[in-house]
Amino acid sequence: MKALILAGGYGTRLHALGKDTPKALLEVGPQCLLEYIIEEITPLESLKEILLVTNNKFYQTFRRWADDYGYSGKIRIINDGTNSPEDRLGSIGDIDFVIRSEQINDDLLVIGGDNLFDGDLRAYSQFAKTKAPLVTIGLYNIGKLDDAKRFGVVALDSQRKIISFEEKPAKPRSTLIAMCLYYFPQKSLGHISDYLLESGKSDTAGDYIRWLSEQLTVYGFEFHGKWYDIGSVESYREAQNDFRAGEE
* CB 205, CB 79: distance < 8 Å: no
Confidence category of residue 12, pLDDT binned at 50, 70, 90: low
The structure's pTM equals 0.93
Helices (H), the chain: 33-41, 59-69, 91-101, 121-131, 145-148, 190-199, 205-215, 233-242
Confidence category of residue 18, pLDDT binned at 50, 70, 90: low
Query: 132 or 120, which is more confident?
Result: 132
**137-156: pLDDT as tens digits:** 999 999 999 999 989 999 99
> Domain segments of the chain: what residues?
2-242
Name the average pLDDT for the chain. 90
When pLDDT is averaged across residues 46-57 and rounded to a whole number, the result is 95
**70-107: pLDDT as tens digits:** 776 778 999 999 999 899 999 999 999 999 999 999 99
Q: Which residues contact 47 (CB under 8 A, 6 or more apart)?
A: 1, 2, 3, 41, 73
Topology of domain 2-242 in CATH is Spore Coat Polysaccharide Biosynthesis Protein SpsA; Chain A (3.90.550)
